[in-house]
Amino acid sequence: MPELDFLMLCDHVRAEGAIVHLVAAGIDRIYVEQLPGVVPIGIAARVTFADAAVPVDGLPRAELDFQGPDDRTIVSFRGVSSARDVGADAHPDLLRAILAANIALPLQDFGRHRLRFLVGGVLLKTVPFVVVDQPPERA
């Protein structure tokens, strides 16, 4: 069973080997002036597999599902294949895979949304976020 080390929404993500560079990580609120619209968003995840004998190209595929307020799927990414071995030297009994993706997220509705992250068809995490039409108040 894969173990999720982290999953974050951010403004932008870039992976370099075992290092993941995140800009404005931990997004839980997206401000848009009008809808429909498209928002750039980054997704970063690291998954650990306990069986290091599995070849990197044999890893189960990741799936990303963005869902709107009514639980309807906005956009799905199936078979995400940017995963690669990152750290066999430090932990030879583990296989770690990084997923780093920057997408243009189409939005139709204000309100609560969520990102569902699955690996090999198994739901590992759901990340909620809200789409609002007012900028956050500044203290």
For residues 108 and 73, the answer to whether their CB atoms sit within 8 Å is no
What residues form DSSP beta bridges with 131? 30, 111
pLDDT at 123 over 90: yes
pLDDT at 23: 94
For residues 53 and 36, the answer to whether their CB atoms sit within 8 Å is no
pLDDT at 106 over 60: yes
**Predicted TM-score of the model (pTM):** 0.80
Spell out the alpha helix ranges (H) of 45-93.
none
- Whole-number Å distance between alpha carbons of 40 and 129: 14
